Structure 1
């Protein structure tokens, strides 16, 4: 009889462990599902913040341009070094290089390679016949989110689009 109780106790313990593992597995599945469901929102919010940081630096450079009496380039003092930045005649960040101009503007402003959360960022220059000065650059993720920078007026406009699967 004593052995029978021990056997029942072991079986009950094994059943309890299996139930605990099942409950934990269900909780983990629920968490993973909700995380991936919200991943797009995380990317949108983070990319929106990146566009705001881009705009903030463009505005800071423009303000420095005014304080330095409107030179062709300005020098920003950073914690470990100085950064020389070319600005156009209106004081907005631009580049003299026509090849990969938007990629160069990205590197000047963001100071990082063209990646965002391990996804590549495309830099596209949008040509327009009526632009007199400056350029319009679109910085786009593969998921469809992008923001545009106009070196004519320093405006950074963010547009969030989703790729529509047919």
Structure 2
């Protein structure tokens, strides 16, 4: 009789332990799914940061173009803090930026031209932090009959994008 009770007690203990594990796993899965759905996409946040950097660089290029007497090409410099001193900046890179008559970075009106603008303005590859940014050109004449509506769209395969109006220098986040 005691063997029977011991077997029943062991079975009850195993069943209880399995029940606790199943409930724990179910709760963990529901928390993971909840946080996964409500947290912003890392790629989207990174693209927003790139759009902000792009807009800042475009405006810097425009003001540098103004200050230098409106040349066709300006040289943009990239600075970083010196390793031994956070307060001292050192120049780490220089690169040319071709400017339009209106004072905004320009290139050929094509997808390749939009890639060139990206490289001139941000000076980083279109592959950023493990994802590919796709550069596309939209001709304003075809879109609305107005050449000033021409734009470069920089997008992710997920659909997130921002646009750069090549004639006005405006950066529009989606």
TM-score normalised to the size of structure 2?
Answer: 0.68
Query: Does the Cα contact within 8 Å between 2:65 and 2:103 map onto a contact in 1?
Result: yes
Query: Cα offset for 1:66?
Result: 1.9
Query: Cα offset for 1:19?
Result: 4.9
Where in structure 2 are there 5+ consecutive unaligned residues? 81-91
User: Partner of 1:149 in structure 2?
Assistant: 164
Query: Cα offset for 1:138?
Result: 1.0
User: Aligned residues, how many?
Assistant: 157
Deviations 1:57-103 (A, max 9, x none): 11112122222222222332433222322222222112258671001
- Secondary structure of 1:78's partner? strand
Residues 128, 78 of structure 1: alpha-carbon distance in 2 compared, 3 angstrom cutoff: same
Query: Cα offset for 1:9?
Result: 8.8
Where in structure 1 are there 5+ consecutive unaligned residues? 160-166
User: Partner of 1:67 in structure 2?
Assistant: 67
Aligned residue runs from structure 1 range 1-166, under 5 A: 17-38=17-38, 41-42=40-41, 43-71=43-71, 72-79=73-80, 80-95=92-107, 100-115=112-127, 118-129=130-141, 130-131=146-147, 135-159=150-174
Query: Cα offset for 1:126?
Result: 1.0
Query: Counterparts of 1:99 and 1:15 in 2: how far apart (Å)?
Result: 63
- Secondary structure of 2:70's partner? coil
Query: Counterparts of 1:77 and 1:120 in 2: how far apart (Å)?
Result: 23
Residues 126, 33 of structure 1: alpha-carbon distance in 2 compared, 3 angstrom cutoff: same
Query: Counterparts of 1:86 and 1:96 in 2: how far apart (Å)?
Result: 10
- Secondary structure of 1:105's partner? helix
Query: Does the Cα contact within 8 Å between 2:64 and 2:74 map onto a contact in 1?
Result: no
Query: Cα offset for 1:156?
Result: 0.6
Query: Counterparts of 2:150 and 2:49 in 1: how far apart (Å)?
Result: 23
RMSD between aligned residues: 3.3
Query: Counterparts of 1:77 and 1:53 in 2: how far apart (Å)?
Result: 12
Query: Cα offset for 1:23?
Result: 4.2
